[in-house]
Amino acid sequence: MSKVKLWAIWIICIFFSLPLYAQNAIEVGGNEQGLKRTGQQAVYHDATNALSLVEVAQLLNEGQFKPLSSAGSTGLKKGAFWSSIVITNTFSIPNDIFLEYIDHQIIHIDLYIKDKLSGKYQLVHQLSLTKPFIHRPVRSHRFTLPLNFSANETQEILVRFGSDEAGFTYPSMRIWTADNFYEAQTGEASFISFLFGSFFLMSLFALVAGVVTRQEVFYYYSIYAFSKITCWATILGFTHQYILRENFHWSLMSTSGAITIICGLLFSRAFLKSKQFTPKLDKVLLLMLANALLLLISALFQIKVIAIITITVALLLYPVLIGVGFARWRQGSKEAGIYSIAWSFLVIGLIIQALRDLGVVEHNFINYYWPPAASLLEMLTIMFAMSMMVNRLRKEKNAAKASYQAHLEQSKALLEMEVKARTMELEQAKSIAEQEARKDPLTGIHNRRSFFERAEERLKLAQRSQQRCCLFVIDLDHFKQINDSMGHGAGDQALCTFTEIVNRRVRETDVFGRLGGEEFALLVTEGLSTAKLVGERLVSDIASEKITVNDTSFSISASIGLVEVNIEYGIELAIKTADEAMYMAKRSGRNRVMIGQY
């Protein structure tokens, strides 16, 4: 065989051994700010989710990987997506970069790097929502993968994006250097803190307004605003990062979304009074509520197909609420018109999210955070509408008051008698209220203010009669553990039982009150030695008492600080000294009495 033929055969073999699909390398330097992205140049859809790494590598070599045809998302599809990436470090020194997945809607990410000697891909990172958060190589609410490059090194990478069943996938990752990544994370955390803080303040203000006005719509709004925090914290990944670090599941995102939808619908029906003024449209809202409940059930039972269908139906029906608000506005409710504008902000945000998920618009930080920002704008606008409602109610109240006063002037003689009777009732109510203001609502003993007043009076009487007084400061041991493990109902029962035990030992001349939480004070007219015996009996009585809540029995104990009161110094210093002695008792092992010194 001639040398020419040998050379020709050698060249043909080399040609066919090369990949059929040439891929441009992404060049990275030392100041990557997340502006460069990977993954959309060469993508393959494994619809069966059954291909092995070797088979995928072969498909890559055969040129089966193609550029992504959409603006960024694959749309709702089953199976896994593979992305081929080539990255070159242009630095003449080693360089560490982060690859950050651009969205939160992914269950698994596996990253493989091609070994230069064997030519085979090796698994480097394997991340999953189902794994504990501590397994993530970079502490972030989105999947982030660190890569190490030698000087001027080029790495060939395969990334597998998996959603178990059907899901929206963005086969793309942002490229960062570490310092820029953490700086961006700080800015993002500031925005999220502002967002959640705003939701929390709105929830708190609405709760206070509900207590003051006794309007149930404020309670609905308060719950709705708070549900926004849990919803967006879960969807954006912060619940997994900070709260459910061990047992997170995709269904929690659907669960929190369902709860928020239910809260929003309940608030809307109460605010718009749709049952009373738009009964036909109210039936549509009831249908939306039923759909949201089905979404909640499917999420709790992890039925992903039904969850996707029901949440899609919920989002498609959301504009109906704009129509209900518009209908109420045409009936004369100005605040309903503002509500429609507010709900429009939310619907626009959800439409942008849908367009992004369907791959119509490109994924970026603006449209990524537009839905939660739109939620905030929605809630702020609704709060303005509610202020209009309150103003209207105030005007109606003033008008009613004026009419009432006019009626008073017309029937003065009769109303004077009614006013006198009402005045007597108010005085009785005031007297009752003053008595209740001096009592602790849970235990029925003196509250803090009442205790100090009665104790000062008792000390003055003891000074005139030259009697000695001792003060106990009593604190229940491990009370927080009772609340955390058995619930606040068990904690309340423990406090009431403790109060009953002490009341058995209290005389009419003693002053017993609750200073706050699980801390109590008892002033007795006794010398120090006798008081110490009383304290030891109390410790014994408390420890021997059994408390039963929901068929579960437990015991409590108390640490007591005791001091003989120097009447000239007053009750405040005695409280402080006894409190220090009480903490000495806790440090000494609890369930005992310690005597304090001035």
pLDDT digits (tens, 9 = 90+) for 538-550: 999 999 999 988 8
Reported as type and span, the H/E element at residue 61 is helix 53-61
Q: What are 175's strand-pairing partners?
A: 99
Would you say 39 and 51 are in contact if contact means Cβ atoms under 8 Å apart? no
pLDDT(1) > 60: no
3-state secondary structure 229-269: HHHHHHHCCHHHHHCCCCCCCCHHHHHHHHHHHHHHHHHHH
Structure tokens belonging to residue 597: 């010194």
In angstroms, how far is the first alpha carbon of the chain from the final one?
112
Q: Which range among 115-124, 192-201, 290-299, 391-400 shows the weakest confidence by mean pLDDT?
A: 391-400
Q: Cα(153)–Cα(172) distance, rounded to whole angstroms?
A: 21
Give me the amino acid identity at 205: F
61 within 8 A of 132, measured Cβ to Cβ: no
Q: What are phi and psi of 236, to 5 degrees?
A: -80, -5
| Domain topology for 21-181 | Immunoglobulin-like (2.60.40)
CATH number of the domain at 448-595, please?
A: 3.30.70.270
Any idea where the domains of the chain sit in the sequence?
A: 21-181, 215-392, 448-595
Q: Map residue 12 onto helix, strand or coil.
A: helix
* pLDDT tens-place string over residues 385-436: 888 888 887 887 888 888 877 776 777 777 677 778 777 877 777 776 667 6
pLDDT of residue 63: 93
Give strand ranges (E) for 414-545.
470-476, 511-516, 519-524
Is the alpha carbon torsion for 251, 254, 255, 256 positive or negative? Answer: positive
| Mean pLDDT of the region 281-296 | 95
| pTM (2 d.p.) | 0.61
Instruction: Answer whether residue 593 shows pLDDT above 60.
Output: yes
Is a pLDDT exceeding 50 seen at residue 445?
A: yes
pLDDT at residue 4 greater than cutoff 90: no
> 3-class secondary structure for 549-580?
ECCEEEECCEEEEEEECCCCCHHHHHHHHHHH
List the one residue out of 54, 57, 64, 50 whose CA is nearest residue 20. Answer: 64
d(CA 54, CA 58): 6
20: pLDDT confidence band, cut at 50, 70 and 90?
very low
Say yes or no to pLDDT of 197 above 80: yes
* pLDDT at residue number 65: 96
Task: Give residue for tokens 């072969």.
Answer: 58
* Count of other CB atoms within 10 angstroms of residue 259: 20
